[in-house]
Structure 1
Amino acid sequence: MMPTSDDIIEHAADFLRRISPEGRAAARRRRERRQAAFRRIARRLVLASVVILGAALATGIIIGPIGINGLLAVILAMVLAWAAILMWSRSPEPTPERLATSDLAQLPAQTEDWLEKQRPALPAPAQRQLDALALSLEAIGPQLAALDPRQPEAIEARRLIGDELPELVRGYQRVPPSLRRQPMNGGPSPDKQLAEGLGTIGEEIARMNARLADGDLKALATQNRFLEIKYKGDGEMGEG
């Protein structure tokens, strides 16, 4: 089957995304998160194995050889422990419903993971926007982690990232594919509306991050001024 022009455009866009700075940064973050998750699971598996083997060794020293039945029990305990750890360590699949109630500190990363799964269903321009959006989500993550979830800024961020952004993408996906490139009622096409919406949300996340950072900078300047008055001022008064 010969590839269509749309297929060629999509493949070219995907190639450009992978070699773009934003695309490489997004791939690096996903790889680092997978590696960190693997290391956490590996540590838990090793710890469980050490505990079980240590208990078996202590039993053999105190009571006597555990025998073949004891060895089978140790193996069974390790298998059950490993299975429990692997099941417990699995992160639930991100969904818009889960994003709406996600822990604020985890919301940016979980939203990025959900968006990545929606990428194949989005047009090429929107896919490129997702990489820039991922950078904004990564940047605001530490800021949100420091917020009280009851603060107005936290509520606003949750609404924007965990509600309005997923709803924009899902609203686009509900449009039949055959109509997505066509202007609607004299207005822009769904493809263009999606691109404009993603751009607006990305800009708002950047503004929100700047506002939160401005508050931290002002707090740091106030603390620095307090220290200068308290210590340098006292020293100068003492010298006089």
Structure 2
Amino acid sequence: MVDSSRVLEQAEAMLRRVSPEAQRMRVRARKRRRAAFFRRFKLAVMAALAVLIGAGILVALNISFPVFLAGLVAIFVALGILFWPSAPEPTADTLVQSEIKALPQQTEQWLERQRPALPAPAQRLADGIGVRLEALAPQLATLDPATPAAYEIRKLIGEELPELVSGYQRVPASLRREERNGKSPDRQLVEGLEVVESELARMTEQLASGDLHRLATQGRFLELKYRGEGEG
């Protein structure tokens, strides 16, 4: 007998692969990796050239310096830069400490890594949130981090969103589809992400219109406490 739930999961996985939001986020992730590689490659080349130029200056000053040694140093410096460990990936704990202008991209990167562990409907919402964060980033580049508006944005994408996803991940996988108080953890996660996405849309619109006061004072409600049976 065909497992209908398995068939549904496979169909949803196919939809995720072809959805515009998912494709857009994959393209952005590839661009980030490519840009990071070329930045490091450029730095490695410049450092190697600096070593060779320094060796040339020593030779011009009649200071004995083996040419082959300069070449070896240049190679080791370049390789060291290329293979030096990258900066640590953002975590739920470090997001709240990020600068406001860097927060959208770092939250997007963090959410991208959590995506495979989320149920299919939540993955689609995570893709949509990633697109919203992309649109929000240029607006936060010039936003004063001391304003109440910046506080509200930081609270939503630096605290509440990570807490929502991390809270869901703490629930044992076997309990995520079981209803408790009328809703399963899967359903609660989806509803929470829907709220986050709608809030990001509202914030982006109000930042674009310059309505910072309304952004900072409009009331919101986001249910974030998703716990398994073993967590009380």
Q: Which TM-score bucket, shorter chain as reference?
A: 0.7 to 0.9
Superposed displacement of residue 73, structure 1: 5.2
1:99 & 1:140 partners in 2: Cα distance? 16
Structure 1 55/22 Cα, relative in aligned 2: closer, same or farther at 3 Å?
same
Which structure has greater helix proportion?
1
Aligned to 1:71: 68
1:166 & 1:207 partners in 2: Cα distance? 19
Aligned to 2:32: 33
TM-score normalised per structure 1: 0.80
CA contact (8 A) 1:94 1:114 kept: yes
Aligned residue among 110, 115, 121 for 2:111: 115
Aligned to 1:44: 43
1:40-98 superposed Cα distances (whole Å, 9 cap, x missing partner): 1111011101111111122222215533xx5335523541464256537x221210111
CA contact (8 A) 1:181 1:190 kept: yes
Q: How many residues align?
A: 210
Aligned residue among 186, 193, 196 for 1:198: 193
Structure 1 23/160 Cα, relative in aligned 2: closer, same or farther at 3 Å?
same
1:34 & 1:84 partners in 2: Cα distance? 16
Aligned to 2:21: 22
CA contact (8 A) 2:21 2:131 kept: yes
Structure 1 10/91 Cα, relative in aligned 2: closer, same or farther at 3 Å?
farther
* C-alpha RMSD of the superposition: 2.1
Structure 1 190/73 Cα, relative in aligned 2: closer, same or farther at 3 Å?
same
Aligned to 1:61: 60
CA contact (8 A) 1:52 1:78 kept: no
1:207 & 1:96 partners in 2: Cα distance? 23
Superposed displacement of residue 13, structure 1: 2.2
Structure 1 112/10 Cα, relative in aligned 2: closer, same or farther at 3 Å?
farther
- Which runs of 5 or more residues in structure 1 are unaligned? 217-240
CA contact (8 A) 1:10 1:124 kept: yes
Larger radius of gyration: 1
Q: Among all aligned residue pairs of Structure 1 and Structure 2, give the percentage whose two residues are the same amino acid.
A: 49
1:195-234 map, 5 Å: 195-215=190-210
Aligned residue among 174, 179, 187 for 2:175: 179
1:129-144 map, 5 Å: 129-144=125-140
Structure 1 5/64 Cα, relative in aligned 2: closer, same or farther at 3 Å?
farther
1:51 & 1:62 partners in 2: Cα distance? 17
1:101-138 superposed Cα distances (whole Å, 9 cap, x missing partner): 01111111111111111112111110111111110000
